[in-house]
Amino acid sequence: MTWLVTGGAGYIGSHVVRAMLDAQIPVVVIDDLSTGRAEFIPDSVPLVRGTLLDAELVTTTLREHAVRGVIHIAGYKYAGVSVQRPLHTYEQNVSAMVTLLKAMEDTGADKMVFSSSAATYGTPAVDTVDETTPTHPESPYGETKLIGEWLLRDAGRASGLQHTSLRYFNVVGSGSPDIFDVSPHNLFPLVFDMLLRGETPRINGDDYPTPDGTCVRDYVDVSDLALAHVAAARRLDARQPVERVYNLGSGAGTSVREIMSAIRSVTGIDFEPEITPRRPGDSARIVAAGDLAARDLEWRMRHSLQDMVASAWAARQSAGGHNPT
């Protein structure tokens, strides 16, 4: 049974593709390469270049490759920028998903693992969120991810589509030195690129009610994340019960200052981060419990913070002079 991985040429998607291959599950990729890179995909994997808004392309791909399940990772993922580009965000994350679900219904593909986000929670009122924590998205990006979950819920009721949604927290690290985080907005690549340019990294605010005054976030390794997708796909293939939503979090938090210290240690570049004012809307702490995913999706933390920083740094260095954005 072939699985389609949308966005499979991206940082997270390419890790999922490789994890699926390691599990001997055949895959095909659709990616418009707007942020993904063709070289991230193994030569043995078919790459269909195009947008999910192209209904004919999506339907043809599903039919030609006898796809019965989809891991849907493609989308516009920049929460902050989505505030300035709401229509683009809704088009890429909602309209495209409707097109994909229609094509799946037309071709008999009846399983989906959906890439959702911690952004669905907004700024939680609790120290550690679980799947029962109320959702209050605060950006068009977070809103579109929650709508994606609703689309799956309603499609499942109407057609029997089997599905689950995985809410990511802060995904870092690299499972291979030839795959690096291409986002121009994520903390690790931002800091690495500043160091490589000889600039001083910044911490936005050090007066939060946390142990060291800087924001605390939940960081998980991209390889562990990829393995959870494989486990979810296998459960759906076996028609085993799944939860509608799973948090992929560590249950523990790491402060921005701790991240900076780990980066200083791993890179060997001595620096003292510049302290700048808080960014509007940043919450002091966002950490997730991953108990349900541990129970059903073999979810566990296989990598330490030092491991995650080291693998991410090695991958960024392997990019050489290439700008990851």
**Tokens read off for 68:** 């019965």
pLDDT reported for residue 325: 44
For helices 305-318 and 187-196, give the axis angle rounded to 10 degrees: 50
Q: Count how many Cα atoms sit within 13 Å of the Cα of residue 207 in the half-sphere of its side chain.
A: 5
CATH architecture for the domain at 2-171+219-248: 3-Layer(aba) Sandwich (3.40)
pLDDT of 108-134, one tens digit each?
A: 999 999 999 999 999 888 989 999 999
Kindly list the domain boundaries of the chain, sorted by start residue: 2-171+219-248, 174-218+250-318
Q: Is the pLDDT of residue 138 over 60?
A: yes
The DSSP result for 49-62, as a single string, is ES-TT-HHHHHHHH
> Mean pLDDT, to the nearest integer, of 21-33?
97
Q: Is the pLDDT of residue 308 over 80?
A: yes
User: pLDDT confidence of 281, banded at 50, 70, 90?
Assistant: low
- DSSP secondary structure code for residue 279 in this structure: P
pLDDT reported for residue 280: 74
**Whether 141 is catalytic:** yes
User: pLDDT confidence of 173, banded at 50, 70, 90?
Assistant: very high
pLDDT reported for residue 284: 87
**Tokens read off for 313:** 């740094």
- The yes-or-no answer to whether 2-171+219-248 and 174-218+250-318 have a common fold is no
The DSSP result for 295-315, as a single string, is HHS-----S-HHHHHHHHHHH
Q: How far apart are CA 199 and CA 159, in angstroms?
A: 54
> Mean pLDDT, to the nearest integer, of 15-19?
98
pLDDT reported for residue 219: 96
pLDDT reported for residue 318: 86
Q: How far apart are CA 233 and CA 4, in angstroms?
A: 11
Strands (E), 222-301: 245-248, 254-255, 274-276, 285-288
Residue of 121, 141, 208, 219 marked active site: 141
Mean pLDDT of the chain: 94
- Class of the domain covering 174-218+250-318: alpha beta
Q: Is the pTM of this model over 0.75?
A: yes
pLDDT above 90: percentage of residues in the chain = 90
Query: Under a CB-based contact definition with an 8 Å cutoff, are residues 288 and 128 in contact?
Result: yes
User: pLDDT confidence of 233, banded at 50, 70, 90?
Assistant: very high
User: pLDDT confidence of 165, banded at 50, 70, 90?
Assistant: very high
pLDDT reported for residue 127: 85
Q: Is the pLDDT of residue 320 over 80?
A: no
Q: Is the pLDDT of residue 263 over 50?
A: yes
User: Nearest-5° angle of CA 285, CA 291, CA 296?
Assistant: 140
pLDDT reported for residue 324: 44
pLDDT of 51-107, one tens digit each?
A: 999 999 999 999 999 999 999 999 999 888 999 999 999 999 999 999 999 999 999
Q: Is the pLDDT of residue 203 over 60?
A: yes
pLDDT reported for residue 276: 95
